[in-house]
Amino acid sequence: MKQYDTFNFPGTYCDIAMEYVEYKQSLGFKYSYSEQAEVNRMLNFIYSNSKSDPILALQPELVNAYASKRGNESARTLHIRQSHIRQFALFLNLRGIQAYVYPKELVKTTEDFVPYIFTKDEISWILREADAIGPNKNKFVNTPYIYPAVIRMLYGCGLRVSEALAIKCEHVDLDNGVLVIMNGKNNVSRLVPISESLRQYLSMYDSKVERAGNPYFFPALHNERYSSTTILNQFRKLEEKAGISQLSNGKYPRVHDLRHTFSVHALEQMIHKGMDPYCSLPILSTYLGHKGIESTEKYLRLTKQYFIDILQFSHQDAEKIFPEV
């Protein structure tokens, strides 16, 4: 599946949609394809249900209807939708269109989500299945090389999927083992050193993959890059083949959990080398491209539980390593 950067909005509201997207991007927000798709859903709702003249003079009833909970959706999904309609109304007011602005107090999202941490055996099982992939139905010769390399990079570097798929060949230095991540989340660019084993693997991958002028390190057909959805779907199939158990919600762990797993395993490795876990946090935070160290601190708790559950440390010994967690 190709990765698109710009949503194809219907002609009915294409102009205002593109103006809004360009406005958000001018403020430094990426406003990715998926975010633009959410704008499309919002505008489709507005143009289908608005009784105002003009249509964009949003009335409270319409805004509240869009911002109301639907079925069993999560608080996070609702929060995102409320935020979109609020931000769009603020934009309309700036353009001189009187639109009702949804209140600042959006629905609260919970912070109790616990990511899945793969064991090293589970990582090996997934990679074994990835290495067994053959050409796809279009006989795309790169398919057997792409997925094993992407998964190894996600686990070996803790990258976000979007960051890995956006990497261009010019940003991969396989001689020195360094990746350049351009404009990651929060518009942060960073250098990511890679291990020697990963450097060797990616060098082998790079010698086999056929690019035909495609600038991306993981090239898709027609000079495009892979989409995150394609990688997510393939990863789920690999988990099933590898015998990874489903979670209590009936779903498999997410491909993004490879990033969490990298972080916990990296902290484990640093601790085994005698580094204080709290002194390790700034290093890991910079490597991951976090905006602040607060985003990285949660991995201390996950790592402590990993030491207890997986490495069979006693609670007493774990407390000695993580005294303040």
Average pLDDT over residues 255-268: 86
Whether residue 175 is found in the same domain as residue 219: yes
* Domain shared by 229 and 176, yes or no: yes
- pLDDT at position 77, please? 87
Say which residue, 269 or 314, is predicted with more confidence: 269
184, amino acid identity: G
Residue 310 lies in a domain: yes
Q: Chain-wide mean pLDDT for the chain? A: 84
Q: Are residues 224 and 134 part of one domain? A: yes
Q: Which of 60, 106, 112 is nearest to 84 (CA)?
A: 106
Query: Can you give the residue range of the structural domain that contains 66?
Result: 14-94
Query: Quick one: 128 and 170 in the same domain?
Result: yes
Q: How many domains does the chain have?
A: 3
Residues 124 and 234 in one domain: yes
Residues 225 and 125 in one domain: yes
Q: Residue 225: inside a domain, yes or no?
A: yes
Looking at residue 88, its pLDDT comes to: 95
Q: How far is CA 192 from CA 152, 198, 303, in A?
A: 14, 12, 22
Write the CB contacts of 192 (distance below 8 Å, at least 6 apart in sequence): 157, 159, 178, 179, 180, 181, 287
The pLDDT tens digits for 128-169 are 999 999 877 666 788 899 999 999 999 999 898 989 999 999
Asked if the structure places residue 204 within a domain, the reply is: yes
User: What digits encode the pLDDT tens for the residues 169-211?
Assistant: 999 999 999 999 887 565 667 889 999 999 999 999 999 999 8
Whether 23 is covered by a domain: the verdict is yes
Residue 285 has pLDDT above 50, yes or no: yes
Please indicate, yes or no, whether residues 134 and 190 belong to a single structural domain of this protein: yes
Does a structural domain hold residue 39?
yes
Domain match, 226 and 144 both? yes
Angle separating helix axes 33-49 and 14-26, nearest 10 degrees: 140
Q: Do residues 45 and 87 both lie within one domain?
A: yes
34 occurs within a structural domain: yes
Look at residue 27 in the predicted model and tell me its pLDDT: 75
- Would the pTM of this model clear 0.75, i.e. be above it? no
* pLDDT cut 90: percent of the chain above it: 47
What's residue 297's pLDDT? 53
C-beta neighbour count of 284 within 10 angstroms: 20
